[in-house]
Each structure stands twice: as C-alpha cells, then as structure tokens.
Amino acid sequence: MNLTAAGILWRIALGNVWRNRMKSLIVGFILFLGTGIIVFGNALVDAVDDGMTRSVTQSVSGHLQIYSDDAKDKLALFGDQFAGMPDIGNIPDFHGLAEVVRKVPNVKAVIPMGIDFALGFQGNEIDRWLQRLRAAVRAGDEPMIAQRRDEVRAVVERVFNELKGAAALVAAGGEYAEDMKAAERAASPEFWAAFDQDRLGNLEFLENRIAPLEQTLGDVGLMFLGTDLASFEKNFDRFELVEGSRVPEGQRGFIFNHGFYEEVMKHRVARDLDKIKRRMEEGYTFEADAEIRSWRDQMAGQYRRVLFQLDRQAGERIRDGLRTLLGQASGELPDLLQSFLKVDDATFAARYAWFYENVAPHIQLYAAQIGDTIPLQAYTKAGYSKSINVKVYGTYKFKGLEKSDVGKMFNLVDMVTFRDLYGLMTPERRAEVAAIRERAGLKDVKREDAEAALFGGTAAVETTAQATGFDEFGGDGGAKVERSQADQKFEPTEIERGVALNAAVTLTDPTKLVETRAAIQDALKAAGLKMRVVDWKEAAGMMGDLVTVARTVLWVIVVIMLLVALVIINNSMVIATMERVKEIGTMRAVGAQRSFIAALFLAETTVLGLLSGGFGALCAAGGIMLWGKIGLPAQNAFMTFLFSGPRLYPTITFSHLFAAVMLIMFFALISTLYPAVLAARILPRVAMAEEG
Amino acid sequence: MRVLKLALSLALGASFVCTGARAQAPAAPSAPAPASEAALPPPGPLDAAGMQALLTIIDDRQRNIGDYKALATIDQREKDKNDTAFETVFYRRDGSDQFLILFLKPKTEAGKGYLRIEKNLWMYDPATGKWERRTERERIGGTNSRSDDFDPIYLARDFTAAYVGSEKLGTFGVHHMKLTAKPGAKVADPILEVWADQATGNILKQQGFALSGRLLRTAYYPTWEKIFSESKNASVYYPRVIQIFDEVEKENRTTVKIDKVDLRPLEKNIFTKAWLESKSR
C-alpha cells in the first residue's frame, strides 16, 4: 500500500468512525473504561508494592536477608503460614560472614539478627506489692521495709473489706469462710504489730493465703528481635525512639515496641479507657454502640486493679476527689471507683482526663516501667528454659507503622542477651545430659510399643524397697547459680562475635538488588559459607507474597474484563459489518482490494482505540493525581502496613499510561480481526444484489 | 477428708515438736492401720462403692504421714529439639499439702525449683531471683511431667468414678475407670481414665483429657515400689518409673525415674521460699 492509499485509508477510517457514531460510542466507552481500570489498578498495586517495600525494608528486613542453607524452614520474618516462627538454623560466626559480605560492592550495612519469644509472668496486684516488700526484706533496707510494709497493709485491709462485702458467701462457709478468717488475721493490728518478728514467715502467709484471693493476670508473651541496637537504629530509617533512652554501648538492655507497650503492658483500666476513647473518636457513642457499652461494663468490673494498686494516702486522696466529682458526700473507694468507671457519652471525656490526672500517677500504669529490670524467660535451643534480668531503657516505634500490627510485632534486645536466651546446645551440656541418663539407667520407650514393652512380660508390678537415706547436696548437686545481673556489661566487639540467626543487608543503591544478591551469594560460596541470600519479599514470608497476590488478582480482573470487551467489540463490529455490506461491496466494486477492506477495519479500531484509550488513560491519570494528593485512608492495621502509613498516595508514571493504552489497543485489534476478515470477503455482487 | 488432713497435720506438727528438724527420728506415734492396708476389691466389675474403696486405697498408699524425699531423674525427648535431662530432688509433707521440687543438674538448672503450698504453685529461678505464680498444669522444667507426677492428687476426694470395664493391659487384668473432676476440685485434668491392676491395686496406666474430651497425655506406671514408713506404720507406694507420652505433640515423651526415697523427717522450714532461695545464693 503506497502513501496515497494509506492516506485515503486513514481518511475513510476517520470518516467511518464518525459516521457509525453509535457503534463507535459503545466500543469507545468500553475501551475508555478498560484503559482507566488498567491505569488505576497498576498505579494502585505499584503504590502498595512501594509502600510495603518501604514498610519491610526500612523496618526489619533490609533489602536482603542471609540465613543458613541448612535451615529446615524458609525465613519468614513476620511468621509463616502456621503463625509460628520457622526454624532457620543459625549463622555460627556472624563476624566471619559480615566480613565477607561487607566487601561486596553496593553493600551498605550487615546487621545481626535473631527473633525469639519470651514469657513475662504478671501474678496479680497483691503479688506485686508483696514482691516489692520481699525485695526490701531481702535487701535489709529498713526504711524501705517500713514504707512497703505500710503499703501492703493498706492493700490487705482493702482486700479484707472487699471480702466483707461478700458476706453471703462467707456465711455459706467452705472456702470463703476460711478466706475470710485469713483476711481478718492479715488485716488485724496484731498481725502487723508482730510482722517484723518473722518477716519472711508473715510474707509467705500473705503470698499464699491473701494474694490468691485476687485474680491472677495471664502471662504475657513477648516477641523480641535481638540485634546490634546501635546499627539497627542507624540503618533502619523507620526506627524512632519514643520514650526513654538508647541502650548504652556495651550494655544489656531491652526496648519495648511502643504499640505493644501501650496495648499489652499498660494497666488494664487505662487500656480500656484508651480503647473507648479511640472508638469514640471514630464517631461511636455509648447510646448507639453495644460494643462500647460492653467494654465499659467490663472496665467497671476491673476496678480492683486500681483499688489494690493505691497506697493509703493516694487512696484517701482519690476517694475525696471522687466524692466531689461524683457529688457523693459519703461512699467508700470501691463503690466510688465502680461508679466512676461507669462512663457514658456525657461523662466520658471529663472522667478520662480525671483518670489520667488524678489516678494514673498513683498506679503502676505499665506492668514494666522504663528503668525497671524485668525477667525474660525463654526456652533455649538446648531445650532448657533460661531466665535473664534485663533493664528496660525505653520504647520505640517504626514511623508510619504505629497502627500496623506488624509494626508492633517486635521488641528489641541486645544481641548478647538474645544469645543467652537462644542458648545453643554445647558439647559440655550434651555430655552432662548423657551422664545424667547413664547414671539413672534410663531406657527410651517408644509410644508404638509402650504397652507391650512395659506390660507384656510377667515381671511383678509391685516390689518392696528399703528406705535409703541420701544427701542430695553431698556431691556437686548443690551447685550455685550466678544471678543474672541486668547491669552486666560486655565488650562492644562481642555483638558480632557469636551466633546470629539471620543477617539483614542494606544496600546503597536498592535498584541493583538482583546483581548485589548474586554477588553476595558468590562471595559467600567462595568463602565456604553455606548460606541462602533472599530478597526482602521472600524474607517477609506470607507478607511478601501479598503484593504478588494483589498484582495477580488485578491482572485476572483486567484479563476477564478485556475478554468481555473483546466479545462485545467483536459483536459490535460484526453487526456493523453486516450493516455496511452495501458500502463495502461498492468499495470492492470500484477496485478496493480485500486487504484494503481489512486494513480499513483495523484502522478504524486503531483510531477508536487511540482516542478512547488515550482519553481513558488521561482521565485515570487525572484521577490518580487527585487521589495522590488526598490519599486513600488505611481502614485497618493490615492496610497501614501495606500502605506504609495511615494513607496511600499513589503516583502516575508514563509507563502506566503507555502500557495501558498498548494493552487495550492489542485487545481491540484482536477483536477486530474476525469482522475485518468477514468484511474483506464481501463480494461486489452481493452488494448489488442487496441493492436490487 | 479435710478432717483427716487436719488430723494428719496435727500428728505431723506433734512429730516436729518431738523430733526436731532432720533428727534421726524416733518414730511418730503409731497411727491406726491406714486405708492402704484395707483389702483390695475383688477382680471383675466394680460398683460405685468398690471403686471408691479402691481409689481411697490408691490415694492412701502414696502418702506418708511423715515427710517424704526422693531423688528423681526426668528425661525429656522432643521432636526437632535437643533431648534434655534433669536430676531433681523432691520433698513432700503430705499432711500439710506441701511440696517442693529442686533441680540439681545440669549445672545451668541447679537451684531452680517449684514450691507448692496449699493452692499456690510457685516457680523460682535463681538466675533472676524471681518467684512466679504458676498453675497445676505447669510442665515441670518444660517437660511433660507435672507436679502431680511427684505429688499425687486425691483421686477419691476430687473425682467421681464410673466403671468402664474389666480389661487386659498386656498380661495384667485391670479395672478401667473413668474419673470426672468434682466441681471446684483443683486438678490438672478435668477427666481421667485409669487402669488399675486388679491383683495389686496399683495404677498401671492413666490418661488425661480436656473438658472437650480431647486426649492430652498418657502415662504408664510399669513398676511400683513400696517402702515401710514407721510414721505411717504402713507402706508408702511410689512409681519407680513413669513413662509419659504427650498426646498433642505426639513425638514428645518424658520418663521420670525415682531412684531413691528417704522417709526421714525434713527440716521444718524446708517448704518456704527462703529455704529454696538459700540453695542457690
């Protein structure tokens, strides 16, 4: 086809598009819509991809992660599909690995890591007072003993008064009567007058008879990430200290995740008040929302958690304050606290403020305060439990991820403490276990044949033994254990010299991730280190798969939509072809070749596709630019993580527009092929016959 | 039963006054023949009274009127984990419901312990110097053993029995009974099934179930030893070996072996936090 013919073709095509306006409008609208959706979808997924990349790489994973090639499971920083922590083996000598990786070009930092889980035991409010008194007695600090003894006495008196309130139960006898008797004794002046004569004995009486009268709080599970804290802060931009201070160099220390600290470690009543406040800020009211009323009722039932934490003076002050606030001339603290906590729409704001101003300073607002030393207990790799005292230095957050569950997941601890809690099985320990077994002559019995092995013979099940006195402390059985010291220091070089479970690698130029990954893998192999190097998406486990899933879902939707469009366009064109038989026949009669007719149809679709697709892409671009200014709000914690903040701000690029128009053009032309072939087959005489 | 416990406590208290701590005890005043010496029910199906009688015998056999001390080894094998073993000593003062287990080996575990006083089970870790309140279901040292493996629960007092059948366990004829915890009873498993040897009355197999009916663990007691207690004026029974199988984590199993038993009076203040703390300071 020469240039003249091409010119004629495009002119006719443009004319036909205009002449067949109705058909062009239908097909054009479909192409317009399709292009818009592709542009929107692609920009959205790219924005989520980018958000998640930032959430993960700037908070925990870095750009690459390295872990043992002998790992049983794949690394999943945020847990695997079974919501557990995978077994990823360990890097026995982190320093050796880091030395190799740091030499690879584009590597900015290599940070040791390990994730583990510890338990924190809470006891109950009375247990806490008694622990404080026991610590003072242990230390022999007389002024402190006197002060804490009076505090405990005030709490015990409250327990007694509370129990008196359950007079009907006490009258029924049984355990209540015994409890009442114990509480009466503990609250009596005689008990306290004689307390100092046998402090430890009296403490045990209080611990075993009085403390159980209050409900015990559940254990707290703490997930922690052991790392080089200074390097972590330096290399993960999202890290921000919220309260307290950094852990000094060479010092053991613990930093709570601020979200976790507020939602788990905070006093139950304060937490409930915060939760109600957040709900009310979302527009809910006590009058209209049953859930908020239910929270309020549960909170009022927790008044003893406040009552038993107040010392005598604070209790009297709050009692007087509540009498004024509630307009009650009399009334005792337990009743006043319950009335106070029965908030409604009219009273909530004022009481919330009153609580934080007048009550919070006198209670233990967090189960562990900043500056406290807390015991962390974990099950070590060696199989034994290990407890360590560690000082809490502060709280931190990942900027922008405050509301995301993933952003609240990890508390931080220094690498040396982590290693102690992780506790690998050493040859010495293995030998010790073997010696214990050998001495006891233990036989391993398997489940499958236990009954046959144990009861299949005729051996007597009952024998007579002789009492054998023994001294359990005669040998080395009385070995003394070193007390874990929270202020124990270590050489900063120790952080690197030892085991890590995985290593995070940050890059100077993240766009060269693929090449750098390959270079690191090669360097490790050359150094004889059997390690896996994975990118952040793989390291994030299920989280990393989400973007791939989101993108796949989008493309499935787009392809389905395009297939529908293909059918509609095809039908429209076929119908239009049938309506244009005479016109096509005439063209054929005046010498138009079949190829010209087919090209004409394709040209018409191209014109329509470019106009509609282009217009659709521009409209979508405008929409995204507007959306990018306003931001799409994250509706829940998970979306906050995906969006890398409270709102998603998508951006548009030329590639989004170009790809969408090209794709829509491709589908439009495919759907025009059949009508074009049909039209090309029309013979001039058919058109004439129609004329006739 | 509470009256009995009170009587036992008084008797025990009296023995302390007379003997003093760790004395090479003159025996406590002879007690009347205990329930453990009563005749066993005959083989074959048992009615309610027969089961109650059998459970009372079992309960009584395992208790001493005086003190009780035993050296025990706990061996734990778990799927995908290192095997662990502990050498422990446990102390009981049955009359006042007191129990203490102290870990002796390995070195890293020495000084850890559990102390039970009435309804309180405390765990102590000398590494932190902290006492933690634990529950009856606590896995001792993270193994499948629990405090009731060392300090038997009261089957007759805390459970209602139903007879399942007269069965064979290996070559032994056994009474198979299903025990359901009475309301308010503080026990680790709300439902138990026990297989008691018809010839000797000893429990050979015990399974613990959750309230939902889910099987949690199976324990076998292949050998029982009896040792004469002067204070009780009768034998005290203890399982020489307990094989425990975790029914949730099927690969996990624990063996408890009691190597030595000593029935001499213990120090008076042994069941205190101060005593346990003193063992690791």
Question: What tokens does A684 get?
Answer: 């001039």
Phi, psi of A598 (to 5 degrees): -65, -45
Distance from C-alpha of A417 to C-alpha of A392, rounded to nearest angstrom: 13
User: Given this model, what pLDDT does residue B141 score?
Assistant: 82
- Number of residues that this document lists for chain A: 692
User: Would you state the structure tokens that stand for residue A410, as one six-digit string?
Assistant: 């990890």
- What residues contact residue A196 under an 8 Å CB cut-off, 6+ apart? A149
User: pLDDT value at position A15?
Assistant: 85
Q: Cβ contact (<8 Å) for B127 and A482?
A: yes
Residue A407 has phi, psi (to 5 degrees) of: -65, -20
Give the chain B residue whose CA is nearest to the CA of A459. Answer: B223
Coil vs helix vs strand at B69:
strand
DSSP H or E run through A102: helix A94-102
Q: Look at A440 and B133 and tell me if their CB atoms are within 8 Å.
A: no
pLDDT tens string B222-242: 999 999 888 888 889 999 999
Collapse the DSSP code of B210 into the 3-class scheme (helix H, G, I; strand E, B; otherwise coil) and give the result: coil
User: What pLDDT score was predicted for residue B17?
Assistant: 29
Instruction: Give residue for tokens 């139960």.
Output: A169
- As a whole number of angstroms, the distance between CA A478 and CA B105 comes to 9
The H or E element spanning position A505 is strand A502-507
Given a cut of 50, whether residue B31 has pLDDT beyond it is: no
Neighboring chain B residues of A123 at a CB cutoff of 8 Å: 132-133
Which residue type, as a one-letter code, is found at position A293?
Answer: R
Identify the weakest region by mean pLDDT among A30-44, A170-184, A426-440, B19-33: B19-33
Least confident range from A281-290, A446-455, A470-479: namely A470-479
From the CA atom positions of chain A, what is the Rg in Å?
Answer: 37
CA distance B95 to chain A (A): 17
- The candidate with the shortest Cα–Cα distance to A337, out of A357, A366, A313, A308, is A308
Q: In the predicted model, what is the mean pLDDT of chain A?
A: 87
Q: Which of A221-225, A301-305, A542-546 has the lowest mean pLDDT?
A: A542-546
Structure-model confidence comparison of residues B18 and A374, the more confident one: A374
Sign of CA dihedral A200, A203, A209, A211: negative
Contact B119/A at CB under 8 A? yes
Q: With contact defined as beta carbons under 8 Å apart, do A33 and A639 qualify? A: no
The tokens for A547 are 């973007």
Q: Hey, is the C-beta of B142 within 8 angstroms of any chain A C-beta?
A: yes
Share of chain B above pLDDT 90, in %: 46
**CA distance, residue A468 to nearest chain B CA (Å):** 6
- Convert the pLDDT of each residue in A85-125 to its tens digit: 788 899 999 999 999 999 999 999 999 999 988 887 667 88
A532 is written with which tokens?
């896996």
Of A152, A130, A153, A161, which Cα lies nearest the Cα of A334? A161
pLDDT level of residue B33 (50, 70, 90 thresholds): low
Task: Output A675 or B49, whichever has higher pLDDT.
Answer: B49
- Which pLDDT belongs to residue A86? 81
Tell me which range, A100-104, A637-641, B24-28, is most confidently predicted by mean pLDDT: A100-104
Which pLDDT value is given to residue A378? 87
pLDDT interval class at B21 (50, 70, 90) = very low
Percent of chain A with pLDDT over 70: 95
pLDDT at position B34: 58
In degrees, rounded to 5, the angle at the alpha carbon of residue B80 between the alpha carbons of residues B74 and B85 is 15
Question: B87 CB near a chain A CB, below 8 Å?
Answer: yes
Q: What are phi and psi of A463, to 5 degrees?
A: -130, 165
Cβ distance of A212 and B120 shorter than 8 Å: yes
Distance from CA of A145 to the nearest CA of B (A): 17
Residue located via tokens 């979200």: A259
> What are the Cα distances from residue A334, in Å, to A321, A397, A669, B114?
13, 37, 79, 35
Q: Are A20 and A611 in contact (CB under 8 A)?
A: no
Mutate one of B125, B169, B264 to test the A interface: name it (highest A CB count within 10 A): B125
Note the pLDDT of residue A510.
92
A123/A429 Cα distance (integer angstroms): 32
Q: How big is the A-B interface in CB pairs under 8 Å? A: 231
pLDDT per position as a tens digit, B34-58: 565 667 787 778 899 999 999 999 9
CB-neighbour burial class of residue A583 (10 A; exposed 0-12, middle 13-18, buried 19+):
middle
- Closest chain B residue to A200, measured at CA: B274
Measured distance CA(B207)–CA(B247) in Å, rounded: 9
Average pLDDT in the A472-501 region? Answer: 73
Start-to-end CA span in chain A (Å): 33
Q: What is the pLDDT of residue B207?
A: 96
> pLDDT tens for residues A583-638?
888 888 888 888 888 888 888 888 888 899 999 999 999 999 998 898 888 877 77
Block residue for tokens 């049938």: A578
Q: How confident is the model at residue B190 (pLDDT cuts 50, 70, 90)?
A: very high
| Average pLDDT score over residue span B244-263 | 90
Q: Cα-Cα-Cα-Cα dihedral of A421, A422, A423, A424, to 10°?
A: 180
Of A656 and A485, the one with more pLDDT: A656
Q: Is residue A507 predicted with pLDDT exceeding 70?
A: yes
Instruction: Assess: ipTM above 0.85.
Output: no
Q: What is the pLDDT of residue B10?
A: 34
CA distance A22 to A478: 97
Give the residue among A97, A93, A228 at the shortest CA–CA distance from A498. Answer: A93
Over range A411-437, report the average pLDDT: 88
Domain coordinates of chain A in residue numbers? 3-55+544-691, 127-213, 238-378+391-402
Q: Contacts of residue A179 in chain B, CB cutoff 8 Å?
A: none
Helix (H, G, I), strand (E, B) or coil at A69: coil
Three-state SS for B223?
A: strand
CATH topology of domain B2-23+46-278: outer membrane lipoprotein receptor (LolB), chain A (2.50.20)
Inter-residue contact A55 to A482 (CB < 8 Å): no
Residues pairing with A241 in the sheet:
A396
Nearest residue, CB atoms, B253 vs list A204, A447, A457: A447
Q: Which of B87, B238, B266 to mutate to test the interface with A (most CBs of A within 10 A)?
A: B87
Distance of CA A225 to the CA centre of its chain: 13
CB A289 within 8 A of CB A279: yes
- Strand B172-181 with B159-169, pairing: antiparallel
By the CB < 8 Å criterion, does B137 face chain A? no
A659: tokens are 């790809």
Facing B71 at nearest CB: one of A387, A456, A472: A472
Contacts of B119 in chain A (CB under 8 A): 208, 212
Closest-CA distance, A86 to chain B, in angstroms, reads 12
Tell if the CB–CB gap between B76 and A87 is shorter than 8 Å.
no
The whole-number pLDDT of residue B194 equals 96
Per the CB < 8 A criterion, the answer to whether B209 and B190 are in contact is: yes
DSSP-derived 3-state class of residue A413: strand
Q: Which of B252, B225, B239, B204 is nearest to A456 (CA)?
A: B204
Q: What is the mean pLDDT of residues A314-332?
A: 91
- Cα atoms in the 13 Å half-sphere on the side-chain side of A98: 24
Any A CB within 8 A of B183 CB: no
A485: closest CA of chain B, how far (Å): 8
C-alpha distances out from residue A156 to A210, A214, A220, A531, Å: 8, 11, 26, 59
Kindly write down the DSSP assignment for every residue of B93-142, as one continuous string.
EGGGTEEEEEEEESGGGTT-EEEEETTEEEEEETTTTEEEEE-TT--GGG
Q: Given this model, what pLDDT does residue A689 score?
A: 67
Read off the amino acid at residue A428.
E
Q: Is the pLDDT of residue A683 over 50?
A: yes
Report the C-alpha gap between B111 and A483 in whole angstroms.
Answer: 11
